[in-house]
Structure 1
């Protein structure tokens, strides 16, 4: 039986799998996107609920997911979720989390040894967790044949040379040491900045602000276009109000500039916008509207 946490689609010659690690009400909407204002949620309740907002509790609904791209004969993972068995005292929901991510990946016909490239759009804990498997003191790369593409600016910011993002959050040290450092030790880490060509269909591009090195993945195949935007967007409300950052953005002004630039190009070039955390269909086409943008069409999937 195929899990409800696995969906697929085709974008040109690229096969796309959506692997959902967890989904549900996450945090108060006005805490997640503090500057959004209550009215935008209420005014759009008819489509925000139930996939993106739970009106009764006031919580934003999100998903933790990995996008798997079979492109140019290779298998590429975009972000790797939370991971199992992690010490995450600052994130109680995912402290010592246990899930079946690898089982869902197997249902898509993908074994860890099949993965050629892992992209971490940024180095927050819910994007790097399955980089490694093991246990405390013995973490090793989950994907032994893969090249791990890691933004150089994030690697420095969250790494030991910057004392793990300045030492403000214990989780930053834990995340780096269990999910990033083992990839460096194995020789599989590739640091990049600016742009990085993955293959004929896929390109990495810096989009800083959410973190110093946060990035997007652009897909172009045939007439299809998509942009995997990581955490530039946590909620569709930020499409309507692109000036609104999430509470997790490191540099709010830079994050807004990156968000507007990416959405502007997506509207102009009809790119499917694929955020890391949208519930529901998980991806959407956008169009320009006034000072911001509007939703045009949600993505559709087939059974894998």
Structure 2
């Protein structure tokens, strides 16, 4: 499948389709990854630019996207982007968006009623927005037949029991109320912790730090393997410098530990690494030598 906003590839007997909600310069590189240092961006400019970084403006380029997996006769969505019509004060890229994400899903052959499982790797605004839709002024689940798999630790933190993230970011209350609470009210929410097997090929595992419940989704089919890492990585420079967190990571030490662990296992097991936000190719192979990680090759799909 080839389309401006989609790309696809197959691992074993699982079809994977990338559906892009939007792609744009997002933030200054070292605002996004504060400890990265200017040198790592400049030294790798030849391949970071223009898909992941704009050297002339020093802006990191990110994508908003959803991964569609067709596995064992079921359709699984991994993260649901930012959504339309949301109150997101302080986030111009997310506030009152008016995009055609559902049209792009349809172009990829996915109707709302076709979706069996929605995975939210964590509960930040840009991963849960299309969980719901506006129905005459009321937020309702966008995928009427789906089970929504939510990390229990994030639900506890960002829901009312955790004071909506202890009120650290006022937007967290808005996100929970328009994108998570309606799924609970409909009875479609499934809370999980530690690990959760979706089917014989797909397993969720905790990878905390970015948020308390941040998770990764492992795919294993035949000899092919992949790991969907959510926001463990916002930029390829974090592969080169895994101790460097994004500005959005809630527990810096834990996030860095999770990143090193997941990258190390991916290198050892030859898992394709699939981040949530890379602006260029959607997935890559990782290599490890003498404790240092590098990009082994990009998987661009068709």
**How far, CA to CA, are the matches of 2:20 and 2:114 in structure 1?**
19
Contact 1:90 1:170 survives alignment (8 Å) = no
1:251-277 CA-to-partner distances (Å, cap 9, x unmatched) read: 000000000000000000000000000
**How far, CA to CA, are the matches of 1:108 and 1:241 in structure 2?**
35
How far off is 1:204 after superposition? 0.2
How far off is 1:166 after superposition? 0.7
1:37-56 counterparts in 2 under 5 A? 37-56=37-56
Contact 2:20 2:63 survives alignment (8 Å) = yes
Counterpart in the other structure of 1:246 = 246
Contact 1:3 1:104 survives alignment (8 Å) = no
1:27-47 CA-to-partner distances (Å, cap 9, x unmatched) read: 000000000000000000000
Counterpart in the other structure of 1:5 = 5
**How far, CA to CA, are the matches of 2:239 and 2:119 in structure 1?**
24
How far off is 1:289 after superposition? 2.8
Counterpart in the other structure of 1:144 = 144
Matched, 1:229 2:266: no
How far off is 1:137 after superposition? 5.2
1:79-228 counterparts in 2 under 5 A? 79-134=79-134, 138-228=138-228
* Divergent runs of 4+, >3 A: none
**How far, CA to CA, are the matches of 2:149 and 2:104 in structure 1?**
23
**TM-score normalised by structure 1 residue count:** 0.97
How far off is 1:292 after superposition? 2.3
1:180-239 CA-to-partner distances (Å, cap 9, x unmatched) read: 000000000000000000001000000000000000000000111000000000000000
Counterpart in the other structure of 1:301 = 301
**How far, CA to CA, are the matches of 2:99 and 2:227 in structure 1?**
27
**How far, CA to CA, are the matches of 2:19 and 2:154 in structure 1?**
24
Contact 1:2 1:107 survives alignment (8 Å) = no
- Secondary structure in structure 1 of the residue aligned to 2:295: strand
Contact 1:89 1:95 survives alignment (8 Å) = yes
Contact 2:281 2:298 survives alignment (8 Å) = yes
How far off is 1:285 after superposition? 0.2
Counterpart in the other structure of 1:66 = 66
**TM-score normalised by structure 2 residue count:** 0.98
How far off is 1:290 after superposition? 3.1
Pairwise CA RMSD of aligned residues?
A: 1.2
Contact 1:136 1:178 survives alignment (8 Å) = no
Counterpart in the other structure of 1:31 = 31
How far off is 1:57 after superposition? 0.4
Instruction: Say how many residue pairs are matched.
Output: 302
Counterpart in the other structure of 1:14 = 14
- Secondary structure in structure 1 of the residue aligned to 2:36: coil
Counterpart in the other structure of 1:265 = 265
**How far, CA to CA, are the matches of 1:267 and 1:291 in structure 2?**
11
Counterpart in the other structure of 1:278 = 278
